Structure formats: C-alpha cells, structure tokens
C-alpha cells in the first residue's frame, strides 16, 4: 500500500483485512502483524485454496456461510 495511492478496503474483520491498490494492481492481505501482497491471479488461487481447505475442515459451516460455494450435486 502506498501513501500516495490509497488502497480500497475489500473486507475487514477482527483478525484480517484485505485491500486492493488499483494503481499498482496488488491485493494486500493483513493477518495480525503479517502482511502479504498478491497479484490478482495469485490472490484468486489463494482464495480457492483456502476455501477448499475450509470445506474439508468444516464442510457444514462452509455450506451454511456460502451456499453457492458448495460443489453442485449431480442430478440423476
């Protein structure tokens, strides 16, 4: 994040905030005292990986929070 190029807050919770700087096209992920910067494509892959892991740890919780994220059931 640059002082001359303010980042837009995408999401913020007590432990984590995510910002996007349109000028440098970087997503900033802040978790506690740690900060990471990702290009958008890498950020998408990170989100997909985290969502997949979350679904394996707590599948019922993820379906309740994000019903569209659940794998579609094949219809017979």
Task: Tell me 13's DSSP state.
Answer: -
User: Cβ distance 26 to 36 under 8 Å?
Assistant: no
Confidence (pLDDT) at 76? 45
* Selected residue with higher pLDDT from 75 and 28: 28
The pLDDT of 62-71, averaged and rounded, is 63
pLDDT in tens, 18-56: 999 999 999 999 999 999 999 999 999 999 998 888 777
How is residue 31 written in tokens?
A: 């978790």
3-class DSSP assignment, residue 73: coil
Q: How many C-beta atoms lie closer than 10 Å to residue 10's C-beta?
A: 13
Query: DSSP of 12-40, one letter per residue?
Result: E-SSEEEEEETTTTEEEEEETTEEEEE-H
| pLDDT of 73 above 80 | no
């Amino acid at each position: 994040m640059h002082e001359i190029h303010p980042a837009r807050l995408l999401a913020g919770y007590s432990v984590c905030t995510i910002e996007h700087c349109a000028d440098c096209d970087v997503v900033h992920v802040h978790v506690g005292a740690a900060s990471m910067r990702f290009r958008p494509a890498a950020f998408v892959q990170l989100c997909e990986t985290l969502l997949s892991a979350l679904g394996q740890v707590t599948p019922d919780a993820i379906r309740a929070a994000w019903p569209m994220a659940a794998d579609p059931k094949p219809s017979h």
